[in-house]
Structure 1
Amino acid sequence: HLLNEAGLDSLVYGEDDELVPFDPNDEEDVDPTWTEDDLDLVNDVPPPDRKRFAFSNGYASLEAIILASNYFRSTTSKAHRTLESMKTKHRFLANSNDLRKMEAFAKEADENSSRRTNRIIALQNLSDDVYMQAMKAMEEGYSLHDIDLQVMAIDVNLEMKYLDKFEASQSWVTRFKRKRRIGSRRTTKFVSKVNHDDDKAIKTAAADFVASIKEEMKTRPLNQICNSDQSGFLKELHSMRSLAPIGEKTVVRCVQSKSSLTHSYTVMPLIFADGSMGDYLFVVLQEPGGSFPKKKKIFDAPNLVVTAGTSHIMTKNHMREWVNKCIFTPSTTSNDLLILLDSWTSFRDQAAIDSSLPSGKTLHTRQIPAGATGICQPLDVFFFRPFKALVRRIQGYGFRNFPTFIIFQRDPILKVISLSFTVMRAPIFKPMIQYAWHAAGYLDSAPTVRFKTPVQLCFPKSVHSTKCCSLGCMMMSFIKCPMCNFTWCFKCYVIEFHRC
């Protein structure tokens, strides 16, 4: 009859619960044959999620079990709380077997937690040791790959005995590189091991030089400390990158003259530690016979001292002319200056420098250690790069939009470099020059004013949608002059040579 009712889904049944005092001698409540070994950590977990454990009155999560276990032992008057107290507080417990199971699960969880914590600490120590070895190898100039990291990790683990059965899997290497911000990069330069070892000595010499100059800077105002250096500018400066269709393997772009990509001229600016610049830019142009033509006058730029040579490389005579004309100028605030120069032979000739100075002037030279100019010379650290970027932007615009403007010829070169030098001398870029001194290590504090580079300031997005400010000119502007804050077209600014 009951089976028939159940088959028709019409069976009605009820259930009565009755609370009775806990009796430790009650055979229904205690199973004397049950031990912790009877605990099945797999089958006592319900299949769907494996996160809840079976007890007499239902399932409980591991968090609830640990909470119940802590409550079970949280009494000072006796060893543990009674079953009645536990049943009232935690309803999944029904008998002493449940208490034993609860304690076994909690103990297992505590041991797992300890093992997990110890493993995490061991993995962290292993990772730190491998990172130190990898960084040391990279600093010494060795090429590293994933397999090298795996070998390092296995060797470190065998030596320090951090973990059992550690294999340094590929997934471990991937996580290690991601956490330590290490990635595969194309090698841009190969040097001999001897030269790489010399690099450490160069860095030490650079640090010592900076420290000595900082001591001297304590006795002088910043406008009496300067730096100058030569830099070669290609007659045509073009970016080595260009937009092209995706997948195109060969990217060909035009220039006005291929020879201008291998021929240069030399510029030599002067910058001061207070962010100001010298009045004149010294320029050496390569000319046939080492002199300018007598019949054709070259473009006269007011802020350039232009000289010629059989090549663009400076000679000692060029150095004498630069000392005589470009250091002590009408705007120089002192007759006594300290200048940082590289280790070029002519710069080490103090007698030649002193004999070239204007009367009554004193110039104290300090030679930057050989090979250290990229580390502690302000011009190299952060000046020439934005300077060349500005020249390249002006030349590139003229090349695309004014084909008759031959950018590699003498007068266009002088116009562009003179205008670019005027931009660099704008007062708004003083923080940028001060930053160059800070980045080289001579100034402890970076400029408090946030600065923009010349390209960022002179070529905002809005400049190309604005008309030229020149009266009667209908052309669109291409540059914003930082000296006058007006926008100008290429014709009015470059070809006709804008003068602020």
Structure 2
Amino acid sequence: MSSAIAILEYALACLKNLPKRPCLNVKDVVVANTIIDVLHQVEYADTTIEIVDGFEQFDDDVKDPDYNPEDEEARVPLYETLPGQPNVVQFAAGKFVSKEKVDEAVAFYSSMDGYHNNGAKKRPTLETMKRRFRFIEDRNHLHKLQQIETTGEYKTNRIQNLRFIADRLGEIVEEHLRKGSIMHDDTLRFFVAKIIASHNLDIQFTPSKSWLNDWKRAHRISSRKITKFVSVVRHQSKKELEDQANDFVEKVNDVLAVRAPSTVWNADQSGFQLIMHTARTHARTGSKRVECVVPTVAATTHSLTVTVLASAAGELHPKLYVQLKEPGGKFPRKGHFTADNLYVTCGQSHIMTKKHAVLFYKNMLFHSSMPNDTVFVCDSWAGWIDDTARDSVMPSGYNVKKMVIPAGCTGMVQPCDVGIFGAFKKVVKRIFGHAQLEHPKYKMHTRDPTLRMLALVYWQFQSPKLVAWIQYAWHASGYDVGRPPVFLSPSEQLFPPDVAQKCSKPTCRNISFITCLYCEEYYCFSDFVISHHKCC
């Protein structure tokens, strides 16, 4: 019996209270007890699962020799003896000729002046063409040259273009692996678009998911997952928490039954690292250690706090509350970047205090755009629970009904937590990843670039196209707001599969990485983030 099976049988026997258990050594007993402890935590504690992505590389890993980089439109075998060549025309089986050489042959074939008695144009003989251009073998090839001369069009070999793209993509990815860049499938699509543009390839091609999967398998690029259980110790069982959450949702639904959804708002805080990156990147299969480069390691742990206000009607507050950490709790004399859709404050820590709760109430909850009779759904943070902070700045004529989510239930019934912050951070990570890849000298983690980026992302989130997404956050939390129509997530709309194309700015030759939800144009990093795109 293997050690792993014996450990599992020992753990199972303990869970079933069986008297007969496999005999284990001390080390294996520790492992079995750990497994038992994890299972108990899953059953009785408020447990979350963290996914940590890593890669391994083995010495005998080699490139798959059978890989063919064709796509669904061209499922034919490649000529394995030939390397990928860009913009080539096939004249015979296994014989490919560059567009430049074909142009030269067409020009020579049409260079003679005069006509024969039958009206046909005078042209070099087949023997002359064969001596000068080795790829010409018969009159069919001459006829092909004549067709190209007449129409000005010739079809380059798609398979060879695809093979060239696959080979060049391998070189680019290899270079970025050495640099420690973070890469994903969308990054690979961006690289492919750059390859096509930079080499003027005569091909319309956007890599499909299956094409990318085939390419990654051929180049031994993949990932594996390690699951780590993190237990949050609580004195309540999972069932008790679920009952409390359901009771709270019923109370809010009673309110929603008699009030307009636009008067019911949820506020929640979330910490954002100054450099946000995904836990996954493309790397060589079998890599035992994967190191990625960031501008400063400290920025991956230092944070800012973002607070979102979202209504049950699918609206976002006109402003995003942002709290930064600044020395002495004060901004520098030169100030900071400002935007109409940001309210920015600071403290000695990025963590909000009751003093900052007062600022939030004054500038966010009691903003002129908010209804004067509001239901405020919040968690059990001390700043929300203490009514004195709210009452000290509440204008006359305003009424606020506070409904506090029970402790331990926010992950189940808090709309901002359930459906908004995850998508928010996903978009931010995509932007950070692209900045690190294409603009490594742009200091995205510093104060003003960070605020610029947050203002841009929040402005996109305020688009009417994302109302259904916000409503779904309430629906998914159990509230009676009606199931919204089918929608695409913010990431799916901002970064569609075909996002890597020529930037929409006429004078720009860069490849786009994002699309604006307002003007629906595609923009590169420089024209969207650095230039702070604002079309309306």
TM category (shorter chain) comes to 0.5 to 0.7
1:383 to 417, 420, 439: 420
Q: What's the counterpart of residue 483 of structure 1?
A: 518
1:314 to 348, 352, 357: 352
Instruction: Give aligned pairs, total.
Output: 323
1:342–1:415 distance in 2 versus 1, CA, 3 Å: same
CA distance in 2, matches of 1:236, 1:151: 45
Higher relative contact order (CA 8 A, sep 6+): 2
Q: What's the counterpart of residue 483 of structure 2?
A: 446
Q: What's the counterpart of residue 238 of structure 2?
A: 199
Q: What's the counterpart of residue 211 of structure 2?
A: none
CA distance in 2, matches of 1:341, 1:152: 39
Coordinate RMSD, CA, aligned: 2.3
Q: What's the counterpart of residue 467 of structure 2?
A: 430
CA distance in 1, matches of 2:493, 2:9: 44
2:432 to 378, 382, 395: 395
Aligned residue for 1:356, secondary structure, equals: coil
Q: Does 1:251 align with 2:287?
A: no
CA distance in 1, matches of 2:353, 2:434: 34
CA distance in 2, matches of 1:352, 1:153: 53
Instruction: Show the 5 A alignment for 1:135-174.
Output: 145=8
Q: Report deviation, 1:283.
A: 0.4
2:509 to 454, 474, 481: 474
Aligned residue for 1:461, secondary structure, equals: coil
CA distance in 2, matches of 1:481, 1:357: 37
Q: Report deviation, 1:330.
A: 4.2
Specify the code of the residue in structure 1 equivalent to 2:243: T
1:325 to 356, 363, 371: 363
Structure 1: gaps spanning 5 or more residues: 1-143, 156-184
CA distance in 2, matches of 1:395, 1:286: 20
Structure 2: gaps spanning 5 or more residues: 1-6, 19-225
Q: Report deviation, 1:499.
A: 1.3
Q: What's the counterpart of residue 349 of structure 1?
A: 386
Q: Report deviation, 1:151.
A: 9.3
CA distance in 2, matches of 1:329, 1:352: 16
2:317 to 274, 278, 282: 278
Aligned residue for 2:471, secondary structure, equals: helix
Question: Highest Rg: 1 or 2?
Answer: 1
Q: Does 1:237 align with 2:276?
A: yes
1:377–1:152 distance in 2 versus 1, CA, 3 Å: closer
1:336–1:236 distance in 2 versus 1, CA, 3 Å: same
1:320–1:152 distance in 2 versus 1, CA, 3 Å: closer
Aligned residue for 2:500, secondary structure, equals: helix
Q: Report deviation, 1:190.
A: 3.6
1:364–1:152 distance in 2 versus 1, CA, 3 Å: closer
Q: TM-score, normalised by structure 2?
A: 0.57
Specify the code of the residue in structure 2 equivalent to 1:457: Q
Q: What's the counterpart of residue 456 of structure 1?
A: 492
Q: Report deviation, 1:432.
A: 0.9
Kept in 2: contact 1:209–1:368 (CA 8 A): yes
1:490–1:443 distance in 2 versus 1, CA, 3 Å: same
1:147–1:323 distance in 2 versus 1, CA, 3 Å: same
Instruction: Show the 5 A alignment for 1:22-171.
Output: 145=8
Q: Report deviation, 1:253.
A: 0.7
Kept in 2: contact 1:395–1:416 (CA 8 A): no
Runs of 4+ displaced beyond 6 Å: 147-155
Kept in 2: contact 1:354–1:363 (CA 8 A): no
CA distance in 2, matches of 1:444, 1:434: 7
Q: Report deviation, 1:321.
A: 0.9
Specify the code of the residue in structure 1 equivalent to 2:326: E
1:497–1:202 distance in 2 versus 1, CA, 3 Å: same
CA distance in 2, matches of 1:473, 1:247: 40
Kept in 1: contact 2:471–2:481 (CA 8 A): no
1:394–1:186 distance in 2 versus 1, CA, 3 Å: closer
Q: Does 1:408 align with 2:449?
A: no
2:374 to 337, 361, 366: 337
Kept in 1: contact 2:256–2:480 (CA 8 A): no
Specify the code of the residue in structure 2 equivalent to 1:398: A
